[in-house]
Chain A
Amino acid sequence: MISLEKVKAGIKELSAKIKKEMESEEEIRIMHLCGTHEDTITRYNLRSLLPENLKLLSGPGCPVCIIPDVDLQMVFHLIQNANIILTTFGDMARVPFEGKSLFYYKSKGCDIRIVYSVFEAVEIAKQSDKPVVHFGIGFETTMPSTALAILDGVENFHVFSSHRFFIPAMEHLLSLGEAKIDGFINPGHVSTIVGVKAYEPIKERYGVPQIIAGFEPYDVMLAVYHLVKAIRNEEKALLNEYTRAVKYEGNVKAQQVMDEVFDRQDWEWRGLGVVPASGGAIRKKYEDYDAMKAFEDVFKDFEPKEDARKKVCRCGEVLRGLITPSGCPLFMKACTPKDPIGPCMVSFEGTCNIWAKYGGYRI
């Protein structure tokens, strides 16, 4: 193991090297795509080690944040109109719609259980006569686990899928062309599943340099250093810094179960609109486990609404890298981690939440 002292010195040296690279540059904008990267960057204040003309933007890498309100409303509708047990991850249970979250409905007597793993949900189903619906969220990192749970074939277990494939969102973001992005730091744990190869089409089509990175401060600093060099050399780079966990092929077994269960449909994302082939819809073959199908009747009279409270929330722009949380007039005023308005302030992977937690804002 390398000593902490050496790591610190290495980071300092990288900071100096990046500053040197950037001396003759105007501005370089790098977007990372993972809430956990934002956490590392803000927790260790890595932006303070980078020159002013190097911007580290955060993108749509928070699975809770990008779920549009309509999904949330459908789940709320389901728990109020069907006799079920709903299971979900803690982060998701705190996202409000019109000021009410799943925790609110739980306090009103709805049977909502917070689980750490989808398998706890399967266990609950095995021990109950009631239908159990798991509110499935997450990108490729999480989808294989939900797929395995479905493949276990427990009759009264269903999934309300809000899963989304991440890679199409990167392409969509580039095709929107709003934010100037010179390079991407690709999400490390999505990459453990999809592998380096999944980013090749983006490399071919857009040529934007990319690097897959781990989550230690030195991983991020190394990634930034290599990316800046690639950007300056105008390389169509697709680099991998996280070789200890990410292989070229990814996790093929996980890909297989994920593709067996999930189809890719055009689904909406908060802030991004409809992203082609990004929706993790459960295939017809497994429709018995699909809550959309199993509770079709309950959804017949469902009507989506707008949340007036979120009118000024700028989460969508935060997710597209157009503004930072400080650019939102409600940040740390009307919207705080204690009383959040948008999901970017709720989720531990939301940029607003992370900035609120650690302070020291700069981009």
Chain B
Amino acid sequence: MCLAIPGRVESVEYPFAIVDFSGTKKRVRIDLVDDVKPGEYVLVHVGFAIQKVDEEEAKKIEEMLAEILIE
């Protein structure tokens, strides 16, 4: 139930957007998240974008993992 899947925003037609989940496209509501733009990643839960995925932060966690290896 709390499962949320990240997808890439293809196009926006407020309050909806077409989101691409590795090839599968779905129409989702985006009015819970501010200022959604094509190209951004959003987390989608039961047909709703609940938050943007912050790509900078996603990179940081990868770096952290890489650091663990050299620590």
Listed in ascending order, the chain A residues whose CB lies under 8 Å from chain B are 1-2, 6-7, 9-10, 13-14, 17, 34-36, 61-64, 89, 91, 116-120, 137-139, 141-142, 144-145, 148, 187-190, 192-193, 214, 218-219, 222, 241, 243-247, 251, 253-254, 257, 347, 349
Contacts and interface: CB of A to CB of B under 8 A. Distances in A.
B4 A13 contact: no
A323 to B, nearest CB: 22
A359 to B, nearest CB: 21
B43 to A, nearest CB: 6
A119 B45 contact: no
A6 B66 contact: yes
Nearest to B43: A245
A62 B69 CA distance: 34
A144 B50 contact: yes
Contacts of B65: 2, 6-7, 10, 218, 222
Interface string B47-58: 110111111011
A257 B32 contact: yes
Given A10-B66, A189-B2, A189-B4, A244 B57 contact: yes
A139 B2 contact: yes
10 tightest Cβ-Cβ pairs between the two chains A and B: A117-B47, A10-B65, A244-B57, A2-B62, A192-B51, A243-B57, A244-B58, A63-B1, A189-B2, A141-B2
Contacts of A36: 2-3
Contacts of B61: 214, 218-219, 222, 241, 243-244
Interface of B: 1-4, 29, 31-34, 43, 45-48, 50-55, 57-58, 60-62, 64-66, 68-69
A64 B43 CA distance: 21
Contacts of A1: 62
**Interface SS majority for chain B:** mixed
Contacts of B32: 144-145, 148, 251, 253-254, 257
Given A2-B66, A10-B69, A192 B34 contact: no
A2 to B, nearest CB: 4
B1 A138 contact: yes
A46 to B, nearest CB: 15
Given A9-B69, A187-B2, A192 B46 contact: no
Given A6-B65, A10-B66, A142 B45 contact: yes
Contacts of B34: 253
22 contacts: A2-B62, A2-B66, A89-B46, A116-B46, A116-B47, A118-B46, A138-B2, A141-B1, A141-B2, A145-B45, A189-B2, A192-B50, A219-B61, A222-B68, A243-B60, A243-B61, A244-B57, A244-B61, A245-B43, A251-B51, A349-B2, A349-B3
